[in-house]
């Protein structure tokens, strides 16, 4: 069983739809990182969370520490949002992030 | 210019060859990392360094070695490449406390025939 799981594995949406990507983990963490990997391969940081909720533009990330679960929401999705979204967790007392397998999102025009 | 630069971006080579992937950063970060990415799997940590004199093995260090030549440079070597080391390799940097975001290079696509 992977320490970090993401669902769905693949997601296809129509432009304008509200999208939710989920991340669940099995042990206590001190931080959770959402990243976006572009079709060309580059990886950029979206959010770092340790509690609550963060918003940047059309992206919203939430975390529930007790339930060991985080969600990434995209409002009014656009084809340029098509990418792989990766969740990574930093365990309590850990030194390095553990990465989920990613969710591949395709937004169709 | 990119803050984290990896060279080469693509490399095709043969089994048994020695290969070096290079990473340089202009962010002034102390922490540097090498990861590999395989289809369907999350990024896996190969080696990491918290400063120039500090080198640590990650989850999958067998078959790899690293050198931290300066704060800004962290290279990854495959001493004798094998086909199952075909993957996408990423260098990343981090600053300050561990719960700060990492910054990634654009990746090196390595194919070993």
Predicted pLDDT of residue A6: 96
Query: pLDDT-derived band of residue A41, with 50, 70 and 90 as boundaries?
Result: confident
In Å, how far from its chain's centre is CA A10?
A: 13
Give the minimum alpha-carbon distance from A40 to chain B in angstroms, rounded to a whole number: 8
* pLDDT reported for residue B2: 67
- Check whether B96 has a pLDDT greater than 80: no
Question: First vs last Cα of chain A: how many Å apart?
Answer: 36
Chain A residue whose CA is closest to B105: A42
User: Would you state the pLDDT for residue B1?
Assistant: 57
The share of chain A scoring above pLDDT 70, in percent, equals: 98
pLDDT of residue B50: 92
What pLDDT was estimated at residue A2? Answer: 67
> Which candidate from B33, B48, B98 shows the least CB-CB separation from A90?
B98
Q: What are the pLDDT digits (tens) for A16-39?
A: 999 999 999 998 899 999 999 998
| Exposed / middle / buried, residue A3 (Cβ in 10 Å: 0-12, 13-18, 19+) | middle
Q: Do B43 and A86 touch (CB under 8 A)?
A: yes
**Distance (Å) from the alpha carbon of A34 to chain B's nearest alpha carbon:** 9
Mean pLDDT of all residues in A3-13: 95
Among A26, A27, A22, CA closest to A7: A22
Kind of pairing between the strands at B108-112 and B10-13: parallel
Q: Is B41 on the interface with A (CB under 8 A)?
A: yes
- Yes or no: say if A96 and B45 are a contact pair by the CB < 8 Å rule: yes
pLDDT at A93: 80
* Residue found under tokens 């079709």: A39
Cβ separation of A43 and B48 shorter than 8 Å? no
User: Would you list which residues of chain A are within 8 Å, Cβ to Cβ, of chain B?
Assistant: 2, 4, 30-31, 33, 35, 40-45, 48, 50, 86, 88, 90, 94-102
Asked if B58 contacts B44 with a C-beta cutoff of 8 angstroms, the reply is yes
**pLDDT digit string (tens) for B11-48?**
999 999 999 999 999 999 999 999 999 988 889 999 99
Reported as a single tens digit per residue, the pLDDT across B38-91 is 988 889 999 999 999 999 999 999 999 999 999 999 999 999 999 999 999 999
For residue B40, the chain A residues in CB contact (below 8 A) are 101
- Whether chain A has a CB inside 8 Å of the CB on B108: the answer is no
Does residue B70 belong to the interface with chain A, where contact is any CB pair within 8 Å?
no
């Amino acid at each position: 069983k992977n320490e970090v799981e993401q669902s769905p594995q693949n997601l296809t949406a129509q432009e304008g739809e509200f999208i939710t990507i989920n991340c669940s983990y099995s042990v206590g963490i001190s931080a959770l990182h959402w990243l976006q990997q572009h079709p060309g391969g580059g990886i950029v940081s979206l959010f770092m969370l340790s509690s609550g909720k963060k918003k940047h533009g059309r992206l919203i990330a939430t975390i529930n520490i007790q339930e060991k679960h985080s969600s990434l929401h995209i409002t009014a999705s656009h084809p340029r949002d098509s990418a792989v979204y990766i969740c990574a967790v930093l365990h309590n007392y850990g030194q390095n992030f553990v990465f989920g397998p990613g969710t591949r999102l395709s937004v169709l025009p | 210019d990119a803050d984290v630069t990896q060279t080469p971006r693509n490399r095709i080579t043969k089994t048994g060859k020695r290969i070096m992937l290079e990473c340089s950063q202009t962010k002034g970060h102390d922490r540097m990392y090498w990861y590999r990415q395989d289809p369907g799997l999350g990024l896996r940590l190969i080696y990491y360094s918290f400063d120039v004199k500090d080198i640590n093995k990650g989850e999958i260090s067998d078959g790899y070695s690293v050198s931290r030549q300066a704060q800004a440079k962290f290279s990854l070597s495959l001493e004798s490449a094998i086909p199952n080391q075909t993957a996408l390799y990423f260098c990343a940097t981090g600053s300050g406390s561990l719960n700060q975001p990492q910054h990634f290079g654009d990746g090196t696509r390595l194919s070993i025939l």
